[in-house]
């Protein structure tokens, strides 16, 4: 059975009476199935990231850690000051959601900078194993079950790019929320502790 991630975004309000409060900055769309089931909300989140990348999952929360990667931390649960929108969505998932956690953009960027290499391991084809052993060619695919004829177990390392898509999307959301118009504006780094992802998994 596969595992999927559900990622939501909050930013910290920076002025007014609610300054310092975490607030949802997700994008929404009309839910096609609203009205067909009492559990279906009228609007659904357009998640900032929706891929199935087990190396990323292992880094974020030690979930599906087949490569023996060091996670940023073990799951921390939902933040104590989480906004109501995300709390409601977590409650809607109920026990189907697991390994809840959260990280600021700064935490993600700092971890990537200090961990440039990710490890992978799994069964690969005989040809892929030979190319890895002989030429150092990274396998295009691998799997964890050992039931395919001719497969063999290998472990390898490669540059850690698993966080890149998530960090890039979160930087773009930072620019949007804090009215920053230049990719290289230092305010992105300055605001990196004022925006965070909250996430969980389901199998």
3-state secondary structure 15-70: CCCCCCCEEECCEEEECCCECCECCCCCEEEECCCCCCCHHHHHHHHCCCCCCCCC
For residue 138, give the DSSP letter.
P
Distance CA 100, CA 81 (A): 14
Distance CA 41, CA 180 (A): 32
For residue 127, give the DSSP letter.
H
**pTM, 2 dp:** 0.85
Distance CA 136, CA 2 (A): 29
For residue 96, give the DSSP letter.
G
pLDDT tens-digit profile, the chain (203 residues): 689 999 999 999 988 889 999 999 999 999 999 989 877 888 999 999 988 888 899 999 999 987 678 899 999 999 999 999 999 999 989 989 999 999 999 999 999 999 988 888 888 888 888 888 999 898 888 887 766 777 888 888 888 888 999 999 999 999 999 999 988 899 999 999 999 999 999 98
Spatial contact of 166 and 196, defined as CB atoms under 8 Å apart: no
Q: What kind and span of H or E run contains 113?
A: helix 105-114
Rg (CA), the chain: 19
Q: Which long-range contacts (CB under 8 A, 24 or more apart) does 186-190 make?
A: 189/106, 189/109
Distance CA 109, CA 97 (A): 26
């Amino acid at each position: 059975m596969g595992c999927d991630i559900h990622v939501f975004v909050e930013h910290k309000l920076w002025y007014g009476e609610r300054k310092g409060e975490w607030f949802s900055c997700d994008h929404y769309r009309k839910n096609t199935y609203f009205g067909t089931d009492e559990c279906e909300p009228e609007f659904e989140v357009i998640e900032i990231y929706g891929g199935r990348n087990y190396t990323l999952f292992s880094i974020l929360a030690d979930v599906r850690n087949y490569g023996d990667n060091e996670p940023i931390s073990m799951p921390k649960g939902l933040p104590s000051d989480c906004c109501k929108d995300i709390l409601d969505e977590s409650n809607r998932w109920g026990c189907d959601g697991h390994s809840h956690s959260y990280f600021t953009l700064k935490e993600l960027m700092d971890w990537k900078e200090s961990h440039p290499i990710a490890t992978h391991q799994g069964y690969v084809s005989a040809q892929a194993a030979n190319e890895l052993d002989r030429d150092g060619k990274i396998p295009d695919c691998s799997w964890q079950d050992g039931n395919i004829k001719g497969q063999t177990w290998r472990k390898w390392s490669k540059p850690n790019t698993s966080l890149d898509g998530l960090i890039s999307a979160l930087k773009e959301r930072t620019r949007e929320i804090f009215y920053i118009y230049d990719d290289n504006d230092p305010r992105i780094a300055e605001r990196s502790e004022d925006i965070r992802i909250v996430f969980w998994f389901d199998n």
